[in-house]
Homo-oligomer: A and B are copies of this chain.
Amino acid sequence: MRPKIVLFGDSITEESFGEGGWGAALANNFSRTVDVVLRGYSGYNTRWALHIAERLFPAAEVGDGGGAPLAMTVFFGANDASLPDRSSAFQHVPLQEYKQNLHSIISFIKKRWPTTLVLLITPPPIDEDGRLKHPYGDNPSGLPERTNQAAGAYAKACIEVAGECGVAVIDLWSKMQQFPGWEKACLRDGLHLTSIGNKLVFEEVVERLSQGGLSLETLPVDLPLLADIDPRDPLKAFQD
């Protein structure tokens, strides 16, 4: 059985196999070593994620190798950080509950799969201009339903949780804002990723996985590579 890396998150995860997406790039990077499993749920916050975790990741089953993924990205917060008095209020989760929910999600994963490398990813920064130009449904208020300041507070909380739980974290909120013109270069609607934004996430994830010992250098290849097959006796490579 090939090992797995699970991507658990909201729409930024769900659409990560789209054109230039970070999830597809990961699957391509690990095309002979790891199955990249997509568990992205558009619009979901940590409260909803916690509700579905038990159903989504059932207890280890006989015969599936224990089912423990090598790694799992946990990428929530962009919806939690929706402002409570604006058009996406129903997705809002208060900051303290967001922290508690992340703690609970990590505890759940760690209890189920103690060996799994958990990698938190903070919400990305928000381009408020982009959000006003690309509203979801009606937003007659003229005010963005997400702000960069709020996203930053949730990002900070996410990093704190990572520290408290001793898991890896990507500070996407800070990292992305180092990119010149990040507002339009990295975000296509003020929230979701462009190709450049996707590439940034991909590179950060690959780096953190590598720091955790999961890379093309360390992971076994599934079946012989063409370069390792002797042209004079190809079938030799397939003997056990």
Contacts and interface: CB of A to CB of B under 8 A. Distances in A.
Nearest to A14: B31
Contacts of A51: 235, 238
A23 B26 CA distance: 13
Interface string A33-52: 00101101111100110011
A19 interface: yes
B52 A238 contact: yes
Contacts of A185: none
A14 B35 contact: no
A219 interface: no
A180 interface: no
A229 B31 CA distance: 35
Interface stretch (A56-64, A104-112, A120-128, A171-179): A56-64
Given A27-B17, A61-B62, A43 B226 contact: yes
Given A24-B28, A226-B43, A238 B48 contact: yes
Contacts of A25: 17
Nearest to A31: B14
Interface of A: 1, 14-15, 17-21, 23-25, 27-28, 31-32, 35, 37-38, 40-44, 47-48, 51-52, 55-56, 58, 61-64, 90-91, 223, 225-226, 229, 231-232, 234-235, 238
15 contacts: A17-B25, A17-B31, A18-B24, A24-B27, A41-B223, A44-B226, A48-B229, A48-B234, A51-B235, A52-B238, A56-B223, A62-B63, A63-B64, A90-B229, A91-B234
Given A31-B38, A41-B223, 4 more contacts: A15-B28, A42-B226, A52-B238, A61-B63
